[in-house]
Amino acid sequence: MQRVDTVQPYAGGYLAHGINDGGANVTVGLSEVRVGVQWPTGKYPGYYIILGKRVKKNTEGQNPLLFLCEGEERMPQNLYQKLSDDISKMRAIAVYADRHEGGCYADFFDYLGARGLNIQLTPAPSATDKEYGAVLMQEHMKQKTLQFPALKMTTIFTQIRSMTKGTDYEEFYAFHALRYLLAGFAKFQEPVVDWMMVKTPKAVNAQGWT
């Protein structure tokens, strides 16, 4: 999809409404939505990426992860606000982050609690293993299970294209958020039920209103 405008719960899953690469309105079924976030370092901004797992399998028999949105901010409080807004908008159920990197993990946990936001903040699996994250990313790219907008150059895709085998990972802040998220999907796997095969969604507009 070129752009996702909104996500709404439907039939035990979710419907993502937006525009496809041809410019037409489209609705895509998702089983779940999760987030990976890299905290600001001072040198590099904080960044998050939100992906939804599609209920429809690809030709390899895998459920692709659809890019829903991304964001970045240099100031932690600005990142928390922008991230929590997009989490609510995209109906994310889990957020993966490095709990030992600075004090942002605890701060964001307190931020969520103070605003009564019921979001599952989880320490990212294998957070210190950058090579494992790179392998996961390469496997997803090979299996075509990472779906990015074709006509919009996102920050994450730009960084992926710039990475090489002997790359210094520090400058690729978006990659860290992605690897946290991919490791989360790999470790905490949920069964995918293709509810779209048995239930046809009602027509809705791009804002998700019936």
Q: Is residue 203 part of a domain?
A: no
**Model pTM?**
0.90
Close Cβ partners of 143 (under 8 Å, ≥ 6 residues apart): 58, 60, 62
Q: Count of domains in the chain?
A: 1
Sign of CA dihedral 9, 10, 12, 14: negative
Distance separating the N- and C-terminal Cα atoms of the chain: 21
Read off the pLDDT band of 171 (50, 70, 90).
confident
Domain that holds residue 130: 3-194
Task: Note the pLDDT tens digit of each residue in 174-195.
Answer: 999 999 999 999 999 887 776 5
Query: 204 in a domain, yes or no?
Result: no
In a domain, 208, yes or no: no
- Domain harbouring 27, CATH code: 3.30.420.280
Q: Is residue 61 part of a domain?
A: yes
Q: How far is CA 169 from CA 9, 42, 57, 124, 174, in A?
A: 36, 16, 31, 17, 10
Whether 51 is covered by a domain: the verdict is yes
Supply angle C-alpha 140, 143, 148, rounded to 5: 60
In a domain, 201, yes or no: no
pLDDT of residue 166: 66
Instruction: Answer yes or no: are the C-beta atoms of 206 and 18 closer than 8 Å.
Output: yes
Contact 123, 99 (CB under 8 A): yes
Residue 191 burial by CB count (10 A; 0-12/13-18/19+): exposed, middle or buried? exposed
CA distances from 121 to 90, 111, 129 (A): 16, 11, 20
The span from the CA of 178 to the CA of 121, in Å, is 15
In a domain, 22, yes or no: yes
In a domain, 207, yes or no: no
Sequence-distant (≥ 6) Cβ neighbours of residue 156 within 8 angstroms: 49, 67, 70, 148, 174, 175, 177, 178
Write out pLDDT tens, residues 21-35. Answer: 888 999 999 999 999
Model confidence at 199, pLDDT cuts 50, 70, 90, reads low
Strand, coil or helix: what is 52?
strand
Give the pLDDT band of residue 200 (cuts 50, 70, 90).
Answer: low
What pLDDT, in 10s, does the model give residues 95-134? 999 998 779 999 999 999 998 888 899 999 999 999 999 9
> What number is the average pLDDT over the span 61-67?
94
